Amino acid sequence: MMNVLKKMGMSIRTYEGQKVLWGILFVSPWLLGFVFFFLIPLLTSLQYSFSNIEASSEGLQMTFVGFANFIEALTVNTNFNRQLIESMMDIVINVPLIIIFSLFIAVILNQKFFGRSLTRAIFFLPVILASGVILTLESTSLVQEINQQNAASGGLANALGAFELERIMLRAGVNEFIVSYLTGAVGRIYEIVSQSGVQILIFLAGIQTISPQIYEAAKMEGATGYEAFWKITLPMVSPLILVNMVYTIIDSFTRSPVTDLILSTGFDNFNFGLSSAMAWLYFVSIMLILLISTYFISKKVFYQE
């Protein structure tokens, strides 16, 4: 026993042992919160998804129905199917655009120019506007009516701009799939900008940790700014690409109208079994997207030792 304690003490004194110890300490608040506040509701939700819930004078009565709620969610409830597919497509389309836009803006904001602090604040402003009182204000009739009028007045201009962009790229010989993807991004520019504030901040912090001596050495060797970006900046911030991708997917998950449908089914229609089944289907869909995207991107991540 003493030998084991001595070995543990020696391992903690090493650099690797200290990293493990600090990692456990940083993860422990989340782990304790998950065990004491989230684990029981999670298991209860899973139990509800396989049951028919009925309220009575004695409380909630659960009747096991197997996969009936999942079958109803996927085959009977057409709103869930439609919104689930639309949400998945929005995530697949928006996430790469947000990551690319955030990295591009972070590189620009890292340059020295007049009014840089004000420009950084402007790009982070949508994060502040999308929270708290202002987020509630967006759902009021006045703001909603203004947004609808702006969309109606600007819809024709956006359509003409996208059509002109599509025509130019097709003449240049760009692939039709890439053309349709980029022209679709024109109509999503508000979503991209409004959801990129945190990602820009993370990329900017990562770029500022890169030693200026590396860029100076590359410049002395004759490297251009374009080559410095692809050979230095992009590899050094590649771990943050993975972090921002996971954050963006989770952020899209919380903004999806599927969550509103799940809440409405459970607390407005009091169909907790169907609502739980919808929640688990949506959770599994998000997890599949996270696993697939993380698997492919993690292979390209460069970790500096």
Low-confidence ranges of the chain (pLDDT < 70): 1-13, 57, 59, 126-188, 304-305
- Least Cα distance to 218 among 209, 205, 207, 227 occurs for 227
Residue 233 has φ and ψ, to the nearest 5°, of -65, -50
The DSSP secondary structure of 88-154, one letter per residue, reads: HHHHHHHHHHHHHHHHHHHHHHTS--TTHHHHHHHHHHHHHHTSHHHHHHTTSHHHHHHHHHHHHHH
- Least Cα distance to 162 among 181, 142, 137 occurs for 181
Beta-carbon contacts of 273 under 8 Å, excluding residues fewer than 6 positions away, are 48, 49, 50, 51, 52, 53, 65, 69
pLDDT number for residue 286: 87
pLDDT number for residue 215: 85
The CATH architecture one would assign to domain 77-255 is Orthogonal Bundle (1.10)
Cβ 282 vs Cβ 290: under 8 Å: no
Q: pTM higher than 0.85, yes or no? A: no
pLDDT tens figures, 217-263 = 888 888 887 888 888 888 888 888 888 998 888 888 877 888 888 88
pLDDT number for residue 177: 64
